[in-house]
């Protein structure tokens, strides 16, 4: 390889040498399957053209490009399992204390059952627990030699811990089908609260306790990558709290959060088949993962998969295509990993382009609760309208209003007549924001604007819950109205892209306007799919989005250098520059003309001298 080709490879080495993928998704969406595929060897990957791509020539060509690249560049990922990280925290607790914790948590109302659980745990896991606990405590001691410390940590987390975690799961599953899941969810919350597996005492410094321990493992491989030539690819399953994902995004430019999407019916079938869970047990898991079981500190420590989807860099669709048909899932993983290594090796899909526009539009939202963007296209993906959730044009977005301006009449144009003149509303709002405790805590905002949500206040006054009281238009609704407001082509037969999933009201509007396909990200569509979109005879398709959006859209699809220059330099191609040739000929002709002119001048001067003589 010549020096020029080496230089190009060196430029890409920063992207292709160290990659960290974090996985997120609801239970049953396929995080473990995805991690298993990423950790497989090149020989076991075996890419096959998915049925869904056949018939689309350009997508087939993209598949061929990615397949060739993967055949030459694929590396197995190192799989860090969060459940083993949680087990390492468990081992910092005394065996007797942990046995008491699990028996009390699983059977709080029966002393006999608690004794039985305690006895079962001690018999099956007691001896291994003592051995691993001793090793875990030894690892907490400062080991000066870096290589020795890394070797001992690798052995503990990747060789010693996994068999014990499996044994613990088997023991808990023998007691009840859902005990393992419920217990580890509770322990995960406890660790984020207190840093301990069995304590629920909140301390803010422990919010990132799990992330920091994972980061210690990453440093092992960062060290190896820095001082060696081998590539280091790491996959972490499964992120349940968005702040943990943000922790790694802020520290590693090579980190990408990948969300696994699966339709609800398929996911439930998988859970029932794999874990034999009942419908009520699945619903309990759903509530836990969507942060619907709230507590004082749940925003920081509880599972919130919906928010994880909101901040994900890459979305991977994992539908059920036949029995154990993973061709489409493998294709998506191969495509995105290839793009991380070689940005711009293929261009984005039409769906990615449109969803990226919706994703960008959502940042215009003035809503205090959630930002949502929407994009409407015709059947050829030509964009007709863009929308985001915000107040009607001419009204002030909620994020720009200050509740204390309402009380002082400092900015009356920002508030409605109802807010200004309704004494009951003003009195209730004043009691919330003007009391001594609230004003005392304003200093913690450090100058931030004190906005307030009208809908929340009005619902509190009415002692009910009514979406009609929201000030903002929904993003999809706003996009539909843009077409009417400014004119344009009809959108019947078109497509709707939304960074959420349409509520019942927006689903009805999409149906009425003749939208044929709705691409969405949010995996919690409520009843709009079954109640509205699947009814009647002109039902639109509800399609889970697959692709890179946000910062990842640019990182994956913007080439580091033009492909033509890169390829020509590596294979040493040189093309004749016809323009340059013409310029060279012109210079030669000009030079000859100058010589002839000089000769003519000399001849003229000679004749003049002869005449003078």
Render pLDDT for 531-548 as a digit per residue (tens, 0 to 9).
888 888 889 998 889 999
**Mapping DSSP to helix (H, G, I), strand (E, B) and coil, where does residue 446 land?**
coil
* Residue 72 pLDDT grade (very low, low, confident, very high; cuts 50, 70, 90): very high
List all residues 6 or more positions away from 381 whose beta carbon is below 8 Å from its beta carbon: 350, 351, 353, 354, 495
Topology at the third CATH level for domain 16-40+76-320: Rossmann fold (3.40.50)
Comparing 351 with 51, which gets the higher pLDDT?
A: 351
Task: Order across the sheet with 495-498: list the strands.
Answer: 383-388, 373-377, 495-498, 517-520, 541-544
Comparing 278 with 595, which gets the higher pLDDT?
A: 595
Q: Is the pLDDT of residue 52 over 90?
A: no
CA distance 593 to 587: 10
* Sequence spans of domains, the chain: 16-40+76-320, 359-390+472-557, 398-469, 579-613
The percentage of residues in the chain with a pLDDT greater than 90, rounded to a whole number, is 57
pLDDT digits (tens, 9 = 90+) for 404-457: 999 999 999 999 999 999 999 999 999 999 998 888 888 888 999 999 999 999
Of 313, 337, 341, give the one whose Cα is nearest residue 15. Answer: 341
List all residues 6 or more positions away from 514 whose beta carbon is below 8 Å from its beta carbon: 491, 492, 493, 494, 538
CA distance 569 to 4: 7
The whole model's pTM is what? 0.88
Report H helices in 91-110: 95-106
**Strand 541-544 to strand 517-520: parallel, antiparallel, or no bridges (unpaired)?**
parallel
Of 365, 360, 358, 416, give the one whose Cα is nearest residue 390. Answer: 365
Classify the C-alpha dihedral 216-222-226-230 as positive or negative. positive
CA distance 430 to 428: 5
- Which DSSP state fits 473? B
Return the pLDDT at 276: 67
Integer angstrom CA distances of residue 67 from 33, 71, 108, 314, 349: 20, 6, 55, 20, 17
Crossing angle of helices 209-227 and 242-251, in 10° steps, is 30
* Residue 226 pLDDT grade (very low, low, confident, very high; cuts 50, 70, 90): confident
Q: Does domain 359-390+472-557 have CATH number 3.40.140.10?
A: yes
Q: Is the pLDDT of residue 588 over 60?
A: yes
Return the pLDDT at 577: 64
Return the pLDDT at 578: 66
Residue written as token pair 């399609």: 543
Residue written as token pair 């296209």: 377
Residues in the chain: 613
For the segment 147-169, the average pLDDT, to the nearest whole number, is 91
The percentage of residues in the chain with a pLDDT greater than 70, rounded to a whole number, is 94
Return the pLDDT at 7: 78
Q: What percent of the chain is helix, strand and coil (3-state, nearest 5)?
A: 60, 10, 30
For the segment 27-54, the average pLDDT, to the nearest whole number, is 92
Return the pLDDT at 149: 84
Return the pLDDT at 294: 64
* Residue 218 pLDDT grade (very low, low, confident, very high; cuts 50, 70, 90): very high
CA distance 94 to 110: 23
For the segment 337-348, the average pLDDT, to the nearest whole number, is 95
Residue 547: phi and psi, rounded to 5, are 155, 180
Q: Is the pLDDT of residue 291 over 70?
A: no
Return the pLDDT at 284: 77
For the segment 493-509, the average pLDDT, to the nearest whole number, is 93
Q: Establish whether the linkage from the previous residue to 406 is cis, with ω within 30° of 0.
A: no
For the segment 191-203, the average pLDDT, to the nearest whole number, is 93
């Amino acid at each position: 390889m010549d020096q020029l080709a080496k230089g190009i490879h060196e430029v890409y080495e920063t992207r292709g040498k160290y990659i960290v993928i974090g996985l997120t998704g609801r239970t049953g969406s396929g995080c473990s399957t995805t991690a298993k595929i990423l950790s497989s060897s090149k020989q076991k990957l075996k890419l096959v053209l998915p049925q869904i791509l056949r018939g689309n020539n350009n997508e087939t060509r993209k598949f061929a490009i990615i397949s060739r690249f993967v055949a030459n560049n694929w590396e197995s990922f190192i799989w860090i399992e969060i459940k083993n990280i949680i087990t390492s925290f468990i081992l910092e607790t005394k065996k007797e204390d942990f046995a008491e914790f699990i028996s009390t948590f699983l059977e709080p109302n029966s002393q006999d059952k608690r004794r039985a659980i305690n006895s079962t745990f001690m018999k099956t896991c007691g001896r291994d627990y003592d051995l691993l606990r001793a090793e875990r405590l030894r690892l907490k001691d400062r080991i000066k030699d870096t290589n020795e410390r890394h070797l001992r940590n690798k052995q503990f987390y990747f060789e010693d811990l996994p068999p014990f975690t499996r044994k613990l799961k088997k023991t808990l599953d023998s007691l009840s089908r859902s005990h393992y899941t419920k217990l580890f969810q509770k322990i995960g919350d406890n660790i984020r609260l207190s840093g301990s597996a069995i304590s629920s005492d909140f301390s803010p410094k422990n919010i990132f306790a799990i992330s920091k321990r994972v980061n210690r493992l990453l440093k092992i491989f960062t060290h190896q990558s820095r001082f060696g030539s081998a590539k280091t690819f790491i996959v972490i399953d499964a992120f349940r709290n968005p702040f943990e994902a943000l922790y790694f995004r802020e520290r590693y430019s090579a980190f990408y959060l990948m969300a696994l999407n699966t339709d609800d019916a398929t996911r439930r079938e998988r859970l029932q088949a794999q874990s034999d869970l009942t419908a009520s047990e699945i619903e309990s898991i759903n509530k836990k993962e969507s942060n619907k079981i709230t507590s004082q500190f749940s925003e920081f420590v509880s599972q919130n998969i919906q928010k994880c989807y909101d901040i994900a860099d890459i979305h991977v669709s994992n539908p059920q295509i036949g029995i154990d048909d993973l061709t489409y899932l493998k294709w998506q993983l191969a495509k995105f990993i290839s793009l991380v290594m070689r940005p711009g090796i293929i261009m984005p899909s039409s769906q990615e382009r449109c969803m990226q526009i919706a994703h960008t539009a959502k940042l215009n939202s003035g809503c205090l609760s959630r930002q949502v963007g929407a994009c409407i296209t015709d059947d050829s993906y030509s964009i007709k309208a863009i929308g985001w959730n915000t107040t009607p044009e001419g009204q002030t977005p909620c994020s720009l209003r200050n509740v204390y301006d309402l009380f002082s009449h400092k900015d009356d144009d920002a508030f409605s007549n109802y807010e200004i003149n309704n004494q009951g509303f003003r009195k209730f709002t004043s009691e919330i924001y003007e009391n001594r405790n609230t004003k005392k805590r304003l200093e913690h905002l450090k100058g931030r604007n004190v906005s307030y949500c009208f809908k929340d206040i009005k619902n509190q006054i009415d002692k009910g819950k009514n979406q009609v009281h929201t000030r903002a238009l929904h993003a999809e609704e706003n996009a539909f109205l843009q077409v009417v407001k400014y004119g344009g082509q009809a959108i019947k037969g078109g497509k709707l892209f939304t960074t959420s999933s349409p509520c019942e009201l927006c689903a009805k509007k999409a149906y009425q306007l003749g939208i044929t396909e709705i691409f969405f990200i949010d995996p919690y569509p409520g009843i709009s799919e079954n109640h509205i979109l699947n009814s009647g005879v002109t039902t639109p398709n509800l399609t889970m989005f697959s692709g890179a959006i946000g910062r990842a859209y640019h990182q994956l699809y913007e080439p580091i250098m033009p492909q033509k220059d890169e390829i020509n330099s590596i294979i040493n191609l040189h093309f004749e520059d016809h323009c340059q040739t013409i310029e060279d000929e012109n210079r030669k002709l000009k030079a000859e003309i100058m010589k002839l002119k000089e000769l003519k001048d000399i001849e003229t001067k000679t004749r003049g001298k002869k005449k003078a003589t």
